[in-house]
Chains A and B, each alone.
Chain A
Amino acid sequence: MATTTALTLGEGIRRQADYWRVVYQRTWRGTVISSFLAPLFYVLAMGVLLGGFIDGDPDVLEGATSYFDFVVPGLIAAHAMQTAVGETTYPVMSMIKWQRVYDSMLATPLTCRDLVAAHLTFIAFRLATTCAVYDLVLAPFGVFATWWGALLAFLAQVLVGMVFAVWVFGFSARLHSEEGYGVLFRLGIFPLFLFSGAFFPVSNLGAAGAWLARVTPLWQGVNLSRMLTLDHVTWWVAGVNAGVLLVLLAAGWVWAVSGLQKRLVW
């Protein structure tokens, strides 16, 4: 390792591009159901059918005039989280421990920083395609109040997904048995999905519950996605939401790289 000259980050990522392209070519079919179909079922069940029984009162629904408009931006943000978590749990453990792909990559001039960056770039691609498909499919249903809001909401959805990607990557890098994932899913991701304001205004949880929900990273993304989609933006809140997510992203990046470094190199 010491004899080779270090690559720049861009070069490091570029050298893994063909690897990730092949991975996607071979696995995209499996993502169709989980990434596109299952969430559309949720939109139909919750947004359309259950929504038919709920009054579209903007005072109750954070500015939305129907439950459909309320729930859809939240569902997309929550789905970005689930996609990111799906890509950074078993796949990461597999590359570290079962297939040992990272080990073989590290035998080349690539470093841990390069591996994490390329893997995250792939996840960003997955998130961007998944969220874009959603936003495009839902656009004709009139969920977006403005075109620029739609674009910013899309970026917010990808951003919240990436925050989960870096943190869960760091967690996976430190995890030695896959049993930890059961706990992560059931006591971490799943409650976040249900209680972070995707399905109902967090104020329904009572004062304490609402504040607890508001400190979760998913709520920051859900709220941002919803405010921008509905064009019902309180700008200072949006700034705080985006700021929190960006700080979490930066800190998570350090956590992910250091985790992999400790696991495979030191």
Chain B
Amino acid sequence: MSTAQPLGAVRATALLVERNYIVYRKAWKLFLSGFFEPFFYLLSIGIGVGALIDTFEFNGREIPYAEFVAPGMLAASALNGALIDATFNTFFKLRFVKLYDQMLATPLTTRDVARGEIAWSQLRGSTYAAAFLVIMAAMGLVHSWWAVLAFPATLLIGFASSAVCMALTTYMRSWQDFDLITLAQVPLFLFSATFFPITAYPDPVRWVVEGTPLYRGVVLCRELTTGSLTWASAVSVVYLLALGLAGLFVVRRRLDALLLT
């Protein structure tokens, strides 16, 4: 180990991403079909349920239900896209195939592993997000150029969620523990003001919801696609960024503890 020259961060990250790409090349159908999920939700809830609802108020303007739901689906799909790679797949590599042990026998460091894996799940999530945004625009659900920034916003959501989920995964003891992920994922998806405005909640609940990462992501995307930005948008950005960096820090520490001691 001591004789090998460490790789630069960018080289190392690129190597890991390339490895994942090669592994996934065969499962491209699964990769592709992941995109349909938010799209179906958009059609079903946005159009079908939307026919039952007039409009919702958002940041002082009235918007049709489909325009309200779509950015919520966008943010949720960025979370879900990052989640699978950062939880199940990471656990499998960490505990069963011992992939990271092998990687650490090369000049890669735990920091590279953390960055590489997160970059990969980011890439996967962002592909879905980009496609979804194009569909939203094609369906006439976007009325502001700010929507262009919704793409980096989904990257930010993906970064925060994959870093945090990967950090949590390092604490998992068995597959059974993943029930806890489902237990968090379903309510996050349903209650983060994705399907209805946050005004549906009484105040104390509302404060809790406003503090969840997915809610921050949902309002951020909604503010961008509807073009009604506020100072809260900046709060969301800073919050998600901080969460992601904290996750990254924990992942590195935990990988050190699990693999190097």
Give chain A's interface residues, CB within 8 Å of chain B: 29-30, 33-34, 37-38, 41-42, 44-46, 49-50, 52-55, 60-61, 67, 179, 182-183, 186-187, 190-191, 194-195, 199-200, 204-205
Say how far A227's CB is from chain B's closest CB, in angstroms. Answer: 19
A190-B40 contact, Cβ under 8 Å, with A49-B200, A53-B196: yes
**B37 near A45 (CB under 8 angstroms)?**
no
Pick the residue among A42, A61, A67 that contacts B190 (CB under 8 A): A42
Question: Is the beta-carbon distance between A52 and B30 smaller than 8 angstroms?
Answer: no
Q: Which residues of A contact B51 (CB under 8 A)?
A: 200, 204
Residues of B within 8 Å of A30, CB to CB, are 176, 179
Shortest Cβ distance from residue A83 to the other chain B in the assembled complex, whole angstroms? 15
Partner of A186, one of B27, B36, B176, B191: B36
A164 to B53, CA, bound (A): 32
CB of A60, distance to nearest CB on chain B (Å): 7
What are some 30 contacts across the A-B interface (CB < 8 A)? A30-B179, A33-B183, A34-B179, A34-B182, A37-B186, A41-B190, A44-B190, A45-B190, A45-B195, A46-B190, A49-B191, A50-B196, A52-B200, A53-B53, A53-B197, A54-B49, A55-B52, A61-B52, A179-B30, A182-B29, A186-B36, A186-B37, A190-B36, A194-B43, A194-B48, A195-B43, A195-B44, A199-B44, A200-B52, A204-B52
Please measure, in the bound complex, the distance between the C-alpha atom of A60 and the C-alpha atom of B48, giving whole angstroms.
Answer: 12
Q: How many A-B residue pairs have CB under 8 A?
A: 89
- Asked if B195 and A46 sit within 8 Å, CB to CB, the answer is yes
A-contact bits for B28-57, CB 8 A (1 contact / 0 none): 011001101100110111011101110010
In whole Å, how far is B106's beta carbon from the nearest beta carbon of chain A?
Answer: 30
Q: Which residues of A contact B37 (CB under 8 A)?
A: 186, 190
Complex: chain A residue closest to B45, CB-CB: A199
How far apart are the CA atoms of A205 and B53 in the complex, in Å? 15
Give the number of residues in B that approach A within 8 Å (Cβ atoms). 32
The interface residues of chain B lying within 8 Å CB-to-CB of A46 are 190, 195
For the complex, is B60 an interface residue (Cβ under 8 Å from A)? no
Q: Judge if B187 is at the interface, Cβ distance under 8 Å.
A: yes
Residue contact B33 to A205, C-beta cutoff 8 Å:
no
Interface string of B209-220 (1 = CB under 8 A from A): 000000000000
Chain A CB count within 10 A is highest, among B27, B197, B200, for: B200
